[in-house]
Amino acid sequence: MQQYRYALQKLWEAIYVLVGDGPIRDRLGYAFILLATLQPEHDLPEHLRGTFCTLMADLTNRKINYSYRSPRINTRHPKSGNMAKTILELYTSLRGGISG
């Protein structure tokens, strides 16, 4: 797990942002910024890369960029909840489960 420490850190930071205050669109935008720093081929095990890349592609396609603020993800329930859940599942899987 030591080799995936950076990914664990970024996924944890994204989860922390997601459980904060504010519209889910904004929170997903902040999470996107954190996760965009990951390089799946180096930072994630092979079995999680597909899920991560699918999530990032979906976030990228829904991203609205602003010149004066962080991006916002154009989505709503239930899609927004599914995206947040995927981030939590990636983190949990990378840790080896809930008790890992």
DSSP-assigned letters across all residues of the chain? -GGGHHHHHHHHHHHHHHTSSS-HHHHHHHHHHHHTT--HHHHS-HHHHHHHHHHHHHHHHHEE--SSS--EE---TTHHHHHHHHHHHHHHHHHTSS--
| Mean pLDDT, rounded, of the chain | 95
DSSP state of 73: E
Mean pLDDT of 28-44: 97
| Percent of the chain whose predicted confidence (pLDDT) is above 90 | 86
User: Which positions ≥6 away from 12 have C-beta within 8 Å?
Assistant: 91
Q: How many residues does the chain have?
A: 100
Residue 50 lies inside a defined structural domain of this protein:
yes
pTM: 0.93
pLDDT category at 69 given cuts 50, 70, 90 is confident
Residue 72 lies inside a defined structural domain of this protein:
yes
Residue 86 lies inside a defined structural domain of this protein:
yes
Domain count, the chain: 1
Residue 49 lies inside a defined structural domain of this protein:
yes
